[in-house]
Amino acid sequence: MTDTVQLTAERAEAAAEVSVRDLTVLYRTDQGELPAVSNAGIDLPSGTITGLVGESGSGKSTLALSLMNAIPTPGRISSGSIQVNGVGDVTKLEGRALRRVRGRALGYVFQASQNSLNPLKTVGKQLMDLGRAHDVQDMRGLVRRAKELADEMGMDGARVLDSYQHELSGGMRQRVGIVLALVLNARVLILDEPTTALDMLSQAAVLDIVRKVHRQEGLTTLVVTHDMGVVSEIADRLAVMYGGRIVEDGPAMDVLQRPAHPYTRALIGATARITGDTETARALPGRPPDLTTVPRVGCVFRERCPLAMDVCAETEPQLLTWAPDRRRACHAEPTTTAATGEGA
């Protein structure tokens, strides 16, 4: 490791708002307990937007839920640590302490949150429930804060609080989800597939709002999505997941311009919004593995990999630094995979 690489790594560590190390999460299946996330390590540097991207089933939501120690039983975090600034290791928390952290430190907007509001209660009523669950004394203050956040996101706060879910558009519900996630002043915002169920216009609007609220509130944000186009528009940093592993990460622009893992290249190649060409945007060949089909030895991506070699069937590649602030888990030469044909 060169001095620069070492320094960059140390700096990132020092400024991380959230640090995940060696995280393994198991779900119980017919075939026993199987990992949905394996030895994952990721940092969310303070004040940045990190995009976590990968096809459906790669373990993104499982990793994101772990940040709140919210894996549903019979799933469990079997090893690893998740340090949150000012909180400590979330995997060690339970009961009241854990409930406190959810909401007050970590704000979470669930996948399909468009439908996660209670259809029978107004948003205001749900806000009160949230306040009570967190022993908020100053309910007026809570309402004021919710209205302030709603206004910040371009909504009429008073009107939103009086609304039922069915009275709000998909984009509005997503925004309400963000208001509820941030109303207790969480410093970390986690959004799971925030744009997935939305049309293109609402997608762009929601991304604008995430960007704005991220900046104005000084947040550390994680955006989980299967859509490379989304992360390319919003993320400062990028982590790519496949088969429960983080296979590549680094600064978003850098990763997009010179992807160093064949899976990242394939994802980018399949995204018309990035290649700018619907003709050449190729669908990824093959299908992503699930818990039961993911290879137990060697590289998880080898069966779909154009660069697969003998070693890939035998030894799992580790996520290693190959350039300053860039990591990849691949046995192939970085130059082989990094060349994009456009003068990289």
* Residues at the site binding ligand ADP, with contacts judged by CB under 6 A: 27, 29, 36, 54, 56-62, 72, 75, 290-291
CB 103 within 8 A of CB 134: yes
Region near Mg ion per CB under 5 A, out of 60-68, 123-131, 137-145, 288-296? 60-68
Q: How far is the CB of 230 from ligand ADP (least distance, A)?
A: 14
- Taking only Cα atoms into account, the Rg of the chain, rounded to an integer number of angstroms, comes to 20
268 binds, among ligand ADP, Mg ion, none (CB under 5 to 8 A by kind): none
45 binds, among ligand ADP, Mg ion, none (CB under 5 to 8 A by kind): none
Please state the closest distance from residue 2 (CB atom) to ligand ADP, in A: 34
Per CB under 5 A, the list member of 19, 50, 58, 61 interacting with Mg ion is: 61
Query: Phi/psi at 162 (nearest 5 deg)?
Result: -85, -5
Q: Minimum Å distance from CB 38 to ligand ADP?
A: 11
* CA separation for the pair 110, 215 (Å, rounded): 21
Are 102 and 190 contacting, i.e. CB atoms less than 8 angstroms apart?
no
Q: Which residues pair with 27 in a beta bridge?
A: 34
In this complex, which beta carbon is closest to ligand ADP, that of residue 73 or of residue 278? 73
Question: Least distance from C-beta 72 to ligand ADP, angstroms?
Answer: 6
The nearer residue to Mg ion, 16 or 36, going by C-beta atoms, is: 36
For residue 36, the partner it binds in Mg ion, ligand ADP, none, with Cβ less than 5 to 8 A by kind, is ligand ADP
Q: What count of other Cβ atoms lies within 10 Å of the Cβ of residue 16?
A: 19
Closest CA to 264 of 272, 256, 253, 275: 256
Measured distance CA(61)–CA(42) in Å, rounded: 14
Nearest distance from C-beta of residue 147 to Mg ion, angstroms: 31
| Closest to 305 (Cα-Cα) out of 344, 340, 343, 336 | 336
Sort residue 136 into left (φ over 0), alpha (ψ -120 to 50) or beta: beta
Q: State the minimum distance, in angstroms, from the CB of residue 56 to ligand ADP.
A: 4
Q: Which does 62 bind (CB under 5 to 8 A by kind): ligand ADP, Mg ion, none?
A: ligand ADP
What would the x/- binding string for Mg ion be over residues 220 to 239, using CB under 5 A?
Answer: --------------------
Residue 202 or 225: the one with the smaller Cβ distance to ligand ADP is: 225
271 binds, among Mg ion, ligand ADP, none (CB under 5 to 8 A by kind): none
Closest contact distance (angstroms) between CB of 49 and Mg ion is 18
The Cα 60–Cα 315 span in angstroms is 23
What is the C-alpha separation between 298 and 283, in angstroms, rounded?
A: 25
User: x/- string (CB under 5 A) for Mg ion, residues 100-129?
Assistant: ------------------------------
Out of Mg ion, ligand ADP, none, what residue 291 binds, judged by CB under 5 to 8 A for its kind, is ligand ADP
**What is the C-alpha to C-alpha distance for residues 192 and 174, in angstroms, rounded to an integer?**
11
Give the one entry of ligand ADP, Mg ion, none that residue 164 binds, where binding means its C-beta sits below a cut-off of 5 to 8 angstroms depending on kind: none
Residue 59 binds which of Mg ion, ligand ADP, none (CB < 5-8 A, kind-dependent): ligand ADP
Detail the DSSP E strand segments found in the chain.
16-29, 32-45, 49-53, 76-84, 88-89, 106-109, 188-192, 220-225, 237-242, 245-251, 320-323, 326-328
Instruction: Identify whether the C-beta of residue 28 lies closer than 8 Å to the C-beta of residue 75.
Output: yes
| Closest to ligand ADP by CB, 73 or 137 | 73
Q: Which does 27 bind (CB under 5 to 8 A by kind): Mg ion, ligand ADP, none?
A: ligand ADP
**What beta strand segments (E) does 174-325 contain?**
188-192, 220-225, 237-242, 245-251, 320-323
Q: For the CB of residue 4, give the shortest distance to ligand ADP in the complex, in Å.
A: 33
The residue ranges that bind Mg ion (CB under 5 A) are: 61
